[in-house]
Amino acid sequence: MSWDYIVIGAGSAGCVLANRLSADPSIKVLLLEAGGSDKRLNIWMPALAFKAMADRRTNWKFMSEPDPTRNNRQDMVPRGKGLGGSSSINAMFYVRGNRGDYDHWAQLGNRGWSYDEILPYFKKVEGNRDGVTDIYGKSGVVVVSQVRKPPKLAYVYLEAMKELGYPINPAYNAEPTDGAAIIHVTQHNGLRYSAARGYLDPIKGRPNLKIVTHATVRHLVFDGRRVSGVEFEVGGRVQIETCEGEVLLSASAINSPKLLMLSGIGPQEQLRRHGIEVLHHSPGVGRNLQEHASTQVKAYVNIKTANQEFNLLGKLKYGLQFLFDRSGYATYTYTGVGLVRTQPHLEYPDIQYHFGAFSANYTDEGIEMQKEAAINLQPNVNNSRSRGFMELRSSDPKDDPRIQLNLLSDPYDVQTLMAGGRIARAALNTRAFAPYVTGECKPGKDVQTDDEWIAYMRENASGSYHPCGTCKMGIDPDAVVSPDLKVIGIEGLRVIDSSIIPQVPSCNLNAISMAIGEKGADLVLNERKQVRAA
Of 184, 188, 292, 466, the active-site residue reads 466
What is the helix (H) or strand (E) element at residue 418, kind and residue range? helix 411-428
Burial of 498 by CB count in 10 Å (0-12 exposed, 13-18 middle, 19+ buried)?
buried
Q: Is 81 helix (H, G, I), strand (E, B) or coil?
A: coil
CA distance 45 to 38: 11
CA distance 237 to 256: 22
Q: Is 211 helix (H, G, I), strand (E, B) or coil?
A: strand
CA distance 230 to 241: 6
CA distance 503 to 482: 15
Evaluate the omega torsion of the peptide bond into residue 443 and state whether it is cis, within 30 degrees of 0: yes
Partnered with residue 128 across adjacent β-strands are 144
Residue 421 · residue 83 · CB < 8 Å: no
Residue 75 · residue 462 · CB < 8 Å: yes
- DSSP state for residue 353 in the 8-state scheme: E
What is the helix (H) or strand (E) element at residue 257, kind and residue range? helix 252-262
292 tagged catalytic: no
Chain centroid offset of residue 48 CA? 17
Give me the phi and psi of 136, to 5 degrees please.
-90, 160
Active site residues: 466
